[in-house]
A and B are shown apart, each in its own frame.
Chain A
Amino acid sequence: MNIQYKYHPDHLKNSEPTVYNESTLKKEEMLINIGPQHPSTHGVLRLEVISDGEIVREVIPHMGYLHRCFEKHAEAVPFNQVIPYVDRLDYVAAMNSEHAYAMGVERMLGITDKIPKRVEYIRVLVAELNRLASHFVAIGTYGLDIGAFTPFLWMMRDREHILRLLEWASGARMLYNYIWIGGLFYDLPVGFEERCMSFTKYLLPKLEDLKNLLISNKIFIDRTANVGVLSRDLAINYGVTGPMLRASGLKYDLRKVDGYSVYSELEFEVPVGAGQMGTTGDCWDRTWVRFRECEESIKLINQCLNRLTGDFKRDREFDPRAVVPKKIRPKAQDLYVRAENPKGELGFFFRADGRADKAIRCKARGCSFVNLSVLPEISRGVMMSDLIAIVGSIDFVMGEVDR
């Protein structure tokens, strides 16, 4: 079997041609290629940048380097077996994606009301832990992008605590397959609540440290304030959601708007950007919103823990797989489900035909995909170094862009 690849210069030219070429460039303009293997593009994003000296004239993203045929796979395997693929969409926030996907299939089956409350609270608990981990990666690597090294190490250290907690619950560090359709893989391990409680106590002062070291650091503010300003109207028109939209000044969080799962029973605030250091919707605001959301997630985690040790406490009789259907065969229907992921609105469009236990079509509306589409718009006319700051502030995961 010969799997050798013979390089030919035409291969790149034909597979990912640049939009601009020598004949369409103006005088003094330059075509610069960033990525796909570049640390500041956060994965395998390739940017075609047209620059005039230090000024960016146009940015054209080229994607697809991490395309793993999610939608084709989702048509080929039964609903419950898609969950591991869903994990691999946004691989730094797999719990949140699983939650959204499971909710969608449960709605198709009409078993949403039958899910036990304890299961729902555990789902929200692990999803919020994962949201913290995702925001830690976002803030840490963002600091790294613009030259602050220490916060990255701190964030990775604290993220590791979360990953170990989730590994304890599910058996995997990042790709969990923990939330199942109709229930959970397993109940929380004995002692999880206590460990989690002491973790949140440990974490709060660490967030204060992060704020002092990075968020309110003068160098950081100078690099991010008034950079990459995204106005609210433009954000809505581009379908931008999540912390990016909230940083542009719109109080819009699906956990509040839809109140899905048990979020309507929990208390938390929705932080919005207000242009404290510059203009509303700049890179600093986006980081600030993510930072504030970390604090809100801790609040949510503590409330979940209170319920899980109070009203819905551990019980020998409790079976997290009690409602898990044996055969998943939804009625023929179309359904769009959405949930608030750390990066924005994750939506799934399903079509079931009522006969198969597979989807006829399963489209993932990735928040990273949609959020990234606004990049050319907000990076026209900025300095080259600011482009890196803008790319980092969008906080996309290529696994979800390319699917």
Chain B
Amino acid sequence: MDFSKIKQTIEESFPSAITGEDLTASPKALIVEKESIKHVCQFLQEQEGLYFDSLSCLSGVDNGPEKGTMEVIYNFYSIPYDHHLMLKVEIERDSPSVPSVESIWKTANWHEREAFDLLGIKFNGHPDLRRILLPNDWEGHPLRKDYQEQEKYHGMTVTYDREESSENEELTIKNGK
């Protein structure tokens, strides 16, 4: 099934869910309204003819403080029908949250935890939304465009400014001699 047919099938069941499309993306993308993403996903997985049985990738993107938005991007693939689809959901940056699709594809569990960890996107309905890669007591979300790393972590210096580190190099050379 090609992209326009997939779009048509979704639109028949969810007339107001799709707010746009992105034809430059590869695979081609549909922009879906935030509230209906879970229902659309359920439909994508179950509908005869679509049957997107695998969620290949789920990524969060920060568009920066000027735009004030974040995005969650879903990459689907249907193994029996061999067709791809990308879905995009745009959310506001101040309190980013999106419904979780963990109950549909279990693989979303860790992907969503990662997006939560690195971008601070909240996935409503996720059963176990903890940090996954960073320590639990780390401050901030590093993949945000305006991220500032904390000064100290458990008493260890996290940020070194350039002058200081060059001094440090000299020190180690001296000590080495």
| A residues whose Cβ falls under 8 Å from a Cβ of B | 1, 3, 5-6, 8, 11, 14-17, 19, 63-64, 67, 69, 71-72, 75, 107, 234, 236-240, 250, 252, 257, 331-336, 338, 345, 347, 349, 351, 360-361, 363, 365, 369-370, 373-374, 377, 402-403
With contact pairs A5-B154, A15-B154, A236-B79 given, residues A361 and B61 touching in the complex (Cβ less than 8 Å): yes
Q: Is there an interface contact between B135 and A239, defined as CB atoms closer than 8 Å?
A: no
Given contacts A332-B24, A334-B29, A347-B56, contact A237 B142 (CB under 8 A): no
- Which candidate, B10-18, B32-40, B92-100, B105-113, is the interface stretch facing chain A? B105-113
Question: Least Cβ distance of B129 to chain A in Å?
Answer: 12
Enumerate chain A residues within 8 angstroms of B29, measured Cβ to Cβ.
334
Chain A residue nearest to B131 in the complex (CB) = A64
Q: What is the CA–CA distance of A263 and B32 in the complex, to the nearest angstrom? A: 35
Give the docked Cα–Cα distance between A196 and B110 (Å): 40
Residues on the B chain within 8 Å of A64, using CB: 131-135
Q: Do the beta carbons of B75 and A1 come within 8 Å of each other?
A: no
> Which of A11, A63, A239 lies in contact with B55, CB distance below 8 A?
A239
**In the complex the two chains form, is B132's CB within 8 Å of A5's CB?**
no
Measured CB to CB, the residues of B under 8 A from A are: 22, 24-27, 29, 53-57, 59, 61-62, 73, 75, 79, 82, 84, 86, 88, 105-107, 109-111, 118, 128, 130-138, 142-143, 154-157, 164, 167-168, 171
Bound form: Cα–Cα A237–B52 in Å: 10
Contact A1 B164 (CB under 8 A): yes
* Measured CA separation A361–B70 after assembly (Å): 12
Contact B54 A236 (CB under 8 A): yes
Residue in contact with B59 in the complex, picked from A8, A332, A363, CB distance below 8 Å: A363
Further 14 A-B residue pairs, CB within 8 A, beyond A72-B143, A338-B56, A360-B61: A6-B155, A8-B155, A14-B135, A15-B135, A64-B132, A107-B26, A236-B54, A237-B106, A239-B107, A333-B24, A334-B24, A336-B86, A363-B57, A363-B59
CA distance A369 to B132 in the complex (A): 11
Contacts of B111 in A (CB 8 A): 370
Cβ–Cβ contact A335 & B26, under 8 A: yes
A237 to B56, CA, bound (A): 10
B71 to chain A, nearest CB (A): 9
Partner of B156, one of A3, A345, A349: A3
Report Cα–Cα, A240/B79, bound state, in Å.
Answer: 12
Within the complex, the shortest CB–CB distance from B140 to chain A, in Å, comes to: 12
Looking across the interface, which residue of chain A has its beta carbon closest to that of B155? A6
Question: Does B86 contact A334, Cβ atoms closer than 8 Å?
Answer: yes
Number of A-B contacts (CB under 8 A): 117
Return chain B residues, CB-CB under 8 Å to A257. 82
Q: Which of B22, B26, B107, B109 lies in contact with A336, CB distance below 8 A?
A: B26
Residues of B within 8 A of A8 (CB): 154-155
Say how far A219's CB is from chain B's closest CB, in angstroms.
34
Q: Determine the chain A residues whose CB is within 8 A of the CB of B24 once the complex forms.
A: 331-334
For A252, the closest partner residue in chain B by CB is: B79
In the complex, residue of chain A having the shortest beta-carbon distance to the beta carbon of B25: A334
A5-B155 in contact (CB<8A): yes
Bound complex: CA A273 to CA B50 (Å): 27
Nearest-neighbour CB distance to chain B for A201, whole angstroms, equals 37
- Which chain B residue lies CB-closest to A17? B136
CB <8 Å contact, B154 and A334: no
With A238-B107, A239-B107, A333-B24 known as contacts, the answer to whether A1 contacts B167 (CB < 8 A) is yes
A72: chain B residues within 8 A (beta carbon): 142-143
Q: Is the CB of A69 within 8 A of B142?
A: yes
Chain A neighbourhood of B133, CB < 8 A: 63-64, 67, 402-403
Contact yes or no, B107 A333, CB < 8 A: no
CB distance from A66 to the nearest CB of B (A): 9
Q: Which 8 pairs of residues, A with B, have the shortest CB-CB distance?
A: A239-B107, A15-B135, A363-B59, A334-B25, A365-B57, A64-B133, A14-B137, A373-B110
| CA distance in complex: A221, B143 (Å) | 45
Task: Report the minimal beta-carbon distance from A2 to chain B, rounded to whole angstroms.
Answer: 8
CB closest chain-A residue, reference B104: A237
A252 to chain B, nearest CB (A): 6
Nearest residue, chain B, Cβ from A369: B110
| A349 touching B136 in the complex, CB below 8 Å, given contacts A1-B168, A334-B26, A338-B56 | no
The answer on a CB contact under 8 Å between B57 and A349 is: yes
Is the Cβ of B26 less than 8 Å from the Cβ of A373?
no
CA A15 – CA B62 in complex, angstroms?
25
Distance, CA A360 to CA B143, complexed state (A): 10
Q: Is the CB of A236 within 8 A of B57?
A: no
Can you offer 29 A-B residue contacts whose CB atoms are under 8 A? A1-B164, A1-B171, A5-B156, A8-B154, A8-B155, A14-B135, A14-B137, A15-B137, A16-B135, A16-B136, A17-B136, A19-B128, A19-B130, A67-B133, A71-B143, A234-B106, A236-B54, A238-B106, A240-B107, A252-B79, A257-B82, A334-B73, A349-B73, A360-B61, A361-B59, A365-B56, A369-B110, A370-B107, A370-B111
